[in-house]
Amino acid sequence: MLGRPTAALLLGLLITLATVVVYSWYVSRQISGLRTLQTELTDRNRRDSLQLLRIQNDLNQLGLAMRDMLDTNEPYPLIAWSAQFDRIRLDLDDALRREEAVSVARRTPEQAQYLASSVAQFWDASNRIFELARAGQEPEARAQIRLSLQARQAALSTAVARLLVLNNESEAQTAQQVQDIYSSVQRQVYWFLAATLAAIAATGLYLIRSNRRLFAELATLSDERRELAQTMIATRESTLGEIARELHDQLGQVLTAMGSMLGRAGRQAPEGSPLRADLREIGEIAQVALDNVRGLAQTLHPSILEELGLESTIDWYLSTVERQFGIQVAYERAGTAAAIDATAAIHIYRVLQEALSNVARHSGAKSARVRLRFDADAVELEVEDHGKGLDAATPRRGLGLVAMRERAALLGGTLELLRPRDGGTLVRLTIPIVASATRV
């Protein structure tokens, strides 16, 4: 059951990562295409515009030269402008060739043919004019300039102006294409963000739902575990109580009767006889056994807890610890004692038993300190030793510690395992007085 949400979350994570990778690749392609468009088209538009301006400048120089050629006040013959025309022709042909190579504007074959034929016709007309000038027919050559050559130069200037307009329109189209790509990428980013947020929201809702279900199951398991722990502890206390009563009532009575019978038999034996000594020795053994049985019955389920209360029971138990475990216990009591019901008292007593048993079995210490404090709203029991202490890396998780924690939880309190400054272990049980005083 726990694996299904994890598998679904991992699948969702993989799908999200795959979507991010694919979309990142797509956006990279779009940006790369945009960069290519900006680099190629924009740069070609710029170079095309420069060549068209160069062509227009050459045509303007030709126009100025023809104006000077028609000026009758000029002292130079027409043939003197032949070298200038040749230089401009070389530059114009180079500019036209370069412009055609970098041209971005879409031209029809008719437009390209018209431009080439217009340039060729212009240069043919200029050649005829200079041939007339060389033949001494300057008036006729000037007439040809007015009638033909200036008109052809104007037509070429108009054609180049149209090309500049087309180039500007192409540059505007390129800018619009770039803007469209930006807008498309922006819209797709918004869609992707919306889809990602939706996926995150769906995953979060699924995770919340799964966590709620898991927490509900854990709460149910915790309640069941607590109920089981309560049942086990109650069963244990009931069993120990039955055993203690059986020992005290049955075996104790048998040993008491044996001691009484041995006493009567001893009194009937002759004074100083070996039989009387043997009967006295057997009677002493029976009395020791009776005392041990009564002590064991008290340890299993101290009846004085119900008769005299928690403090007197602790006093009695600590007096038996040195004989039972071989450790010395220093006992401190502070605060005004509060009434604690028998059920809470037996749990506190069992925690004390388990803590001192752990000191004897695991700490290696020969002494311990027990503190019982009553505050306004809580009773606190501490058992401290300066032995080996608990290993923080691998703490013991025996049934004794689990039982102590369960008893503390049953009383609504807490159990802490601390390490004193001088080393060892400090077990601290804190129980609310209200809960411990009113619990049935």
Tens-digit pLDDT profile for residues 70-105: 877 767 888 888 889 999 989 988 988 888 887 765
What pLDDT does 435 receive?
46
Confidence tier at 279 by pLDDT (50, 70, 90): confident
More confident residue, 307 or 70: 70
- Mark whether 36 and 172 lie in a shared domain: yes
- Mark whether 316 and 201 lie in a shared domain: no
Confidence tier at 362 by pLDDT (50, 70, 90): confident
Q: How far is CA 231 from the centre of its chain?
A: 41
Out of 26-35, 77-86, 99-108, 170-179, give the one with best mean pLDDT. 77-86
Tokens linked to 130: 């200079």
**Alpha carbon distance 438, 435 (integer Å):** 5
More confident residue, 149 or 437: 149
- Mark whether 194 and 318 lie in a shared domain: no
Q: What is the helix (H) or strand (E) element at residue 371, kind and residue range?
A: strand 367-374
- Mark whether 57 and 198 lie in a shared domain: yes
**Alpha carbon distance 123, 139 (integer Å):** 19
Q: Average pLDDT in the 258-277 region?
A: 76
Please check the confidence at residue 393 and state whether its pLDDT lies above 90.
Answer: no
Q: Average pLDDT in the 197-211 region?
A: 80
- Mark whether 173 and 55 lie in a shared domain: yes
Residue 275, domain member (yes or no): no
Using the 3D structure, point to which of 186, 207, 228 is the last residue of a domain: 207
Please check the confidence at residue 397 and state whether its pLDDT lies above 60.
Answer: no
Confidence tier at 66 by pLDDT (50, 70, 90): confident
Confidence tier at 395 by pLDDT (50, 70, 90): very low
Confidence tier at 4 by pLDDT (50, 70, 90): low
What pLDDT does 38 receive?
67
Using the 3D structure, point to which of 151, 179, 207 is the last residue of a domain: 207
Percentage of the chain beyond pLDDT 70 is 88
Least confident of 56-70, 139-153, 172-186, 211-225: 172-186
Residue 242, domain member (yes or no): no
Query: Domain total for the chain?
Result: 2
The amino acid sitting at 154 is A
Please check the confidence at residue 410 and state whether its pLDDT lies above 50.
Answer: yes
Q: What is the pTM of this model?
A: 0.49
Confidence tier at 398 by pLDDT (50, 70, 90): low
More confident residue, 372 or 31: 372
- Mark whether 58 and 179 lie in a shared domain: yes
Which CATH number characterizes residue 183's domain?
A: 1.20.1330
Q: What is the DSSP string of 372-407?
A: EEE-SSEEEEEEEE-SS---SSS----HHHHHHHHH
Residue 183, domain member (yes or no): yes
- Mark whether 184 and 308 lie in a shared domain: no
What pLDDT does 91 receive?
92
Using alpha carbons, select from 351, 40, 406 the residue that is nearest to residue 232: 406
Least confident of 4-8, 17-21, 58-62, 302-306: 4-8
Q: Which residue has the tokens 């601390």?
A: 418
Query: Pairing state of beta strands 425-432 and 414-418?
Result: antiparallel
Residue 256, domain member (yes or no): no
What does each C-alpha distance from 86 to 80, 93, 149, 153, 249 come to in angstroms?
11, 11, 15, 15, 142
Using the 3D structure, point to which of 183, 207, 231 is the last residue of a domain: 207
Q: Average pLDDT in the 345-372 region?
A: 87
Q: Which long-range contacts (CB under 8 A, 24 or more apart) does 314-323 make?
A: 314/349, 314/352, 314/370, 314/372, 317/349, 317/352, 317/353, 318/370, 320/295, 321/356
Tokens linked to 64: 């100025």
Q: What is the dihedral of CA 214, 218, 219, 223, to 10 degrees?
A: 150
Q: Average pLDDT in the 268-283 region?
A: 77
At 72 the three-state DSSP class reads coil
Query: How many C-beta atoms surround the C-beta of residue 289 within 10 A?
Result: 16
Please check the confidence at residue 53 and state whether its pLDDT lies above 60.
Answer: yes
Main-chain dihedrals φ then ψ at residue 428, nearest 5 degrees:
-125, 120
Out of 186-195, 216-225, 227-236, 375-384, give the one with best mean pLDDT. 375-384
**Alpha carbon distance 334, 376 (integer Å):** 12
Please check the confidence at residue 8 and state whether its pLDDT lies above 70.
Answer: no
What pLDDT does 160 receive?
84
Please check the confidence at residue 30 and state whether its pLDDT lies above 90.
Answer: no
What pLDDT does 437 receive?
47
- Mark whether 192 and 340 lie in a shared domain: no
Question: Which residues are within 8 A (CB) of 101 and not within 5 positions of it... i.e. 6 or more apart?
Answer: none
Tokens linked to 272: 């100083």
Q: Which domain holds residue 425?
A: 304-438
**DSSP 8-state symbol, 83:** H
Q: What is the pLDDT of residues 116-146, one digit of tens each?
A: 888 888 899 889 988 988 888 888 988 888 8
- Mark whether 140 and 35 lie in a shared domain: yes
Please check the confidence at residue 2 and state whether its pLDDT lies above 70.
Answer: no
